[in-house]
Amino acid sequence: METCGLQIHPEKSRIAYCKSSGRGDKYGIVSFDFLGYTFKPRRTVSNRGAIFLGFNPGVSKKSLKRMNTVIKQAVVFKSSECDITDIARELNPKIRGWLNYYGKFRKSDLNRLWEILNNRLIRWARKRFKRLKRSTRLASKWIRGVYNSNPSLFLHWRIVSP
């Protein structure tokens, strides 16, 4: 590695045991994070439908936290002048990027993020419209109405409905 000009950082580098169904050994470190994914033992379904323990990647907690921060800090949620199409226009490129990168493996790990985004839309609707101000249920119903009239407005609605 030195010929390439690379060095191994002694504090950041460690050996992880790739535990799977065929391996029964015990080891202290069985997961690691790399490029926004957490690699760890997970239940996996084979092509034939059998469930087994495999060592697979999924979106890391640190990446989910960062994506959640991006949603919370979106400027369109702070403005009552914005329309829901403005929100979709700003967030859809980010959602597309997250789906393309993190959706390759264990797309279901992103479901919590989509739930947070839908809740943020409900919160925005409550701030935007006086008639929805006091009721989360009515705001949720309004968001579902928007979904029913335009299900492709937000990219994550193709996977999870509000």
* Contact predicate 41/55, CB 8 Å: yes
Crossing angle for the helix pair 61-72 and 84-102, to the nearest 10 degrees? 170
Instruction: Read off the pTM.
Output: 0.81
* Contact predicate 46/52, CB 8 Å: yes
In angstroms, the CA 32 to CA 63 distance is 13
Residue 100, class by beta-carbon neighbours within 10 Å (0-12 exposed, 13-18 middle, 19+ buried)? exposed
Q: Kindly give the confidence (pLDDT) of every residue in the chain, 162 residues in length, as a single tens digit, with 9 standing for 90 and above.
A: 678 888 888 877 777 776 766 666 677 777 888 899 989 888 888 888 888 888 889 999 999 999 999 998 888 888 778 899 999 999 999 999 999 999 888 888 899 999 999 999 999 999 999 999 999 999 999 999 999 999 999 999 988 888
Q: For residue 120, what pLDDT is reported?
A: 93
